Chains A and B, each alone.
Chain A
Amino acid sequence: MKEVILVKDGELALKGLNRSTFEDKLIKNIRRRLSHLGKFHFEKAQSTISVMPENGDTDLDEAAEIIGKVFGIVGYSRAALCDKDFDTILKTAEEYLYNKLEAVRTFKVESKRSDKKFPYKSPEISREAGAYILKRHPHLKVDVHNPDLIVYIEVRDRYTFIHGNQEKGAGGMPVGTNGKGMLLISGGIDSPVAGWMMAKRGIELAAVHFASPPYTSKRAEMKVHELLRKVAQYSGRIKLYTVRFTEIQEAIRDNCPEDTFTLVMRRHMMRIASMLAEKEGCQALITGESVGQVASQTIYALGCTDKAAAYPVFRPCIGMDKTEIIEISRKIDTFDISIEPYEDCCTVFTPKHPKTKPTPELLEETEAVIDWTELLKIAAETAEIRYISLREDAE
C-alpha cells in the first residue's frame, strides 16, 4: 500500500494571486526539510499539497513529525493512496485504518469527490464504506456529530486518498514569504520565542548573539546554539553571528555613568545588529523585549534603544506576560534550555540602580565621551559565523 502525507495550507487560500508563489515556497521549504529522508514528489490541488515519497521504505513517521513544524500548514495527515476502483477503495480504507478502527468506539465516513466523472456521489461512497467497515468491526457505532474517528475518502483526478483524523499544523505562513529579520538572541526565555513568532509569520531568520568572554562562558554560547536549533525546527537553518562584545562593555564601564550601562549597551547592540542586518539583507531586527519586564525595557528605555536601530525593531512579546511567553517556550521546547544558569552579557557589569526614565538626548550625550565607531565596526566585522542546522550532525 502506498502512503503519502496530505498537507492543508489553509491561510494561503486568502492570498489571491500570490497564492501560487506562497504554495511554491511552502513546497520548497518542505522539500528542503525532508531532504535527508529521501526524494519526494509534490502535487498541489484544492489547498492540499500531496507529499509523496518516491521510495517505499521512506520514514514517514519522521516526515510527518517534521511537517508538523513547518509554518504555512494548517493541518496534515498520513494517507493511503489507492486506485479509483470502488471495491479497492472500501478494502483499502478498512485495511489502512484497521488498528485505529479497533481502538475507537465511534466513527463516521466523510467523502469528497473532486472527480465528478467518478460513478458514485460522495454520500453514496460514505454510506457504502460505513457499512463495509461496520460489518468488519461490529463493536463500532456510527456517530455523525462527535465521532472518535473520521474516515476520510477523497476521490481526486488521478488517485483516491484515504486517511483518518487530521493533525493540527504549525499554522502561520511559509518562512521566506515575508522577508528576513535579524534576531538578537541572549540565551534567556524571551528571544527564542520572539524568533519563533516572527518565523511563524513567514520571516526568515538570521541571528546575532553577544558574548563577553571571559565574563561569559563558552557554555552560554553553546546554550544559544541549542536554543536556535529548537527554533530552526520551525524556521529552517539559521545563520548566527557571535559578536565579541567584551571590549565594548569594558569601554562602557570605563567611560559611562553606571546607571546608563545597560542602556548604552543595548544601543550598541542595536547598532551592531543593524550593521549585520544590512550585510544579511534583513528588513527588520527582532528582540524578545516585553514592556516593563526589566529596567531596560521600560517604555522610555525602549524608545531610546529604538533610536539606535537602523531598522524597524519587531518585538512580538511586547504585550505578553512572562507566563504567556513561558507557555510558548515550553511548546517549542526551549524553556528547559533557557533556564540553564549561565552568565550572559546582559548580566555583566549590571548597574545597581539603572535609569528607568532615560531620554535619547541624555544617552547621546553620555555616549559622546568617546568615539565608538571603530569599536563597533571591529565587533561587527570580526563576528564569528555559524550555521545552526536542524540536526546537529549536519553542522
Chain B
Amino acid sequence: MDIYLDNSATTPLCKPAVDAMYKMMTETFGNPSSKHKPGNDAFDALKKARRRVADAIGCNTEEVYFTPSGTTANNTAIFGAARLMGRRGKRIITTSLEHPSVKEPMKRLESMGYEIVALPTNRDGKFSLSVLRSALTPGTILVSMMLVNNEIGAINPIADAAAMVKNSNCGALIHCDAVQGFGKLDIKPSKLGVDLLTVSSHKIHGPKGAGALYIKKGLHLPAYILGGGQENGMFSGTEATPAIAGFGAAAAALPSPREQLAKTKKIRDDFIGMLGENNRIFVNSPADALPYVINISIPGIPSEVLINYLSDNGIYVSAGSACKKGRRSDVLTAIGIAPQRIDSAIRISLSRFTTAEDMCALYTQLNEATKIFLR
C-alpha cells in the first residue's frame, strides 16, 4: 500500500471533489455568462462553490475571488496593493521565509523602486513582533506574511502582527499567504485582522487549477487580467468551472480544524516519540509547529537518497520543499540547523487522512534506512 506523506506539496483529491468535477465536465458544461439553461446551471454551480469556499474561509461570498492558483492570488494581492497604495508610500514589509510566489513579486517591486523590508526569522522559525514594531514606519503601505511555513510548519503570529499594524496607524494593507494553514487552522480574516488572504484548492484535497484571493469588502484592488469582467472584474477569463466546483466541494468536506488538529497532533507526537528510539534521527521542526508538517534529518543520508529509498518502498515524502540542488534551505539555516543536517533533511507532511499506522510504517522504513546507509 502506498503511503502519501507529501501533502504540503499537493493532496490527493477527496471523493466529493471528484464527483463535483465529473458533473461539471459531463453535465454542467455551460459558460456561466450564457443566459440559457446550461449557462444558468453553471452560474448556479459557481455561486454554490463560492459560498462553500467563503464558509470554509469564514468570510462573505462577495469577498471570495477565484483564481487559477495560490500563486496568482499572491501576485495579485501584492502587485495590486503596491499599485493602489503607491502614492502614499513605497515601503513594504514581508518575512524572509515567504513562498517564491511572494518573494519574486517583492523582488520585482524592489526593482520598480519600492523598499522591501524582509523580517528575519528567529530560532523558533517565526518572525518577531518587536522587529516588526521597529520596521513599521509611516510610509509602510503593505505587510505580507505567510501563516504557516511550508518547510517546517512554524506558525507566524499573524493576528498579533495585524493588530500591531492597525494600531500603528500607518494605514498599511495586510496580506496573508494562508495556503499551508487553510483547513488546518482557523484562518477567518476578520479574526486574523487581514485585508487580503490567499488559499489554494489542491492543498485541501481539491483539484489543481483553482485558488482564491480573499479581498476585504470595500477594498478595490486594480485588476491586471482584463477582458470579459469575470470575478467582479478582477480575473477576466471564462471561469474554470470544473476546478472551482471541485474546490467548493473539497472546502465543504473539510472537518472542523480544531478537532482535526488535536487528532493530528496526537499522531505527530506519537511519531516523534518513536523517533526518540533511534539516536540517528533528528527532528528539525519546532515543537510548537503545525503538526501536519514534520521536518527531520538522518545525517549521513542525503535527502535525495532517502527520498528515493522511501519511494521505492511506497512512501512518498519530499526534501525541505521543491529545493534546488546546491542551495541550502533558508528556513533550516535560519533556525540554526547544521549544514550536514540540512543536506539530509526531509519533509513529512500529513493530511487528515494520515493514520497512526502510516507513521508506524514510515518509522520502520526510516529505521531500516539507518541500518542500510549508515554503517
Q: Hey, which bits of chain A sit against chain B, CB under 8 A?
A: 213-218, 341-343
Binds A, one of B161-169, B171-179, B303-311: B303-311
Interface string of B37-76 (1 = CB under 8 A from A): 0000000000000000000000000000000000000000
Closest-by-CB residue of A relative to B313 is A214
Taking the complex as formed, is B312 at the interface, i.e. its CB lies under 8 A from any CB of chain A? yes
Is B312 a contact of A217 with CB atoms below 8 Å? no
User: B90 → chain A, closest Cβ, in Å?
Assistant: 37
Cα–Cα distance between A342 and B305 once the two chains are bound (Å)? 11
Residues of A within 8 A of B304 (CB): 217, 343
Residues of B within 8 A of A343 (CB): 304
User: B106 → chain A, closest Cβ, in Å?
Assistant: 25
Closest-by-CB residue of B relative to A254 is B375
Is B305 a contact of A341 with CB atoms below 8 Å? no
Is A217 a contact of B308 with CB atoms below 8 Å? yes
Closest-by-CB residue of A relative to B372 is A214
User: A188 → chain B, closest Cβ, in Å?
Assistant: 14
Is B309 a contact of A214 with CB atoms below 8 Å? yes
6 cross-chain pairs, A with B, having the tightest CB-CB distances, nearest first:
A214-B308, A341-B325, A214-B309, A217-B308, A215-B305, A214-B305
Closest-by-CB residue of A relative to B327 is A341
Residues of A within 8 A of B36 (CB): none
Cα–Cα distance between A341 and B325 once the two chains are bound (Å)? 6
Residue from A214, A216, A343 whose CB has the most chain B CB atoms within 10 Å: A214
Is B324 a contact of A341 with CB atoms below 8 Å? yes
Give the interface residue-count category, chain B. Answer: 10 to 19
Q: 15 additional contacts, CB 8 Å, given A213-B312, A217-B307, A217-B308?
A: A213-B308, A214-B305, A214-B308, A214-B309, A214-B312, A215-B305, A215-B308, A216-B308, A217-B304, A218-B308, A218-B311, A341-B324, A341-B325, A341-B326, A342-B325
Residues of A within 8 A of B312 (CB): 213-214
A selection of 21 A-B contacts at a CB cut-off of 8 Å is A213-B308, A213-B312, A214-B305, A214-B306, A214-B308, A214-B309, A214-B311, A214-B312, A215-B305, A215-B308, A216-B308, A217-B304, A217-B307, A217-B308, A218-B308, A218-B311, A341-B324, A341-B325, A341-B326, A342-B325, A343-B304
Residues of A within 8 A of B311 (CB): 214, 218
Residues of A within 8 A of B309 (CB): 214
Residue from B304, B312, B325 whose CB has the most chain A CB atoms within 10 Å: B304
Cα–Cα distance between A217 and B309 once the two chains are bound (Å)? 9
User: A178 → chain B, closest Cβ, in Å?
Assistant: 38
Closest-by-CB residue of B relative to A217 is B308
Instruction: Report B289-322 residues with CB < 8 Å from chain A CB.
Output: 304-309, 311-312
Closest-by-CB residue of A relative to B324 is A341
Closest-by-CB residue of B relative to A341 is B325
Closest-by-CB residue of A relative to B307 is A217
Cα–Cα distance between A214 and B372 once the two chains are bound (Å)? 11
Cα–Cα distance between A216 and B324 once the two chains are bound (Å)? 16
Closest-by-CB residue of A relative to B309 is A214
Cα–Cα distance between A96 and B326 once the two chains are bound (Å)? 56
User: B229 → chain A, closest Cβ, in Å?
Assistant: 38
Cα–Cα distance between A342 and B325 once the two chains are bound (Å)? 8
Residues of B within 8 A of A218 (CB): 308, 311
User: B325 → chain A, closest Cβ, in Å?
Assistant: 4
Cα–Cα distance between A217 and B324 once the two chains are bound (Å)? 15
Cα–Cα distance between A217 and B307 once the two chains are bound (Å)? 9
Residues of B within 8 A of A216 (CB): 308
Residues of B within 8 A of A342 (CB): 325
Residue from B308, B312, B325 whose CB has the most chain A CB atoms within 10 Å: B308
Closest-by-CB residue of B relative to A214 is B308
Cα–Cα distance between A124 and B297 once the two chains are bound (Å)? 83
Closest-by-CB residue of B relative to A213 is B308
Cα–Cα distance between A341 and B312 once the two chains are bound (Å)? 20
Cα–Cα distance between A341 and B324 once the two chains are bound (Å)? 8
Residues of B within 8 A of A215 (CB): 305, 308
Residues of B within 8 A of A217 (CB): 304, 307-308
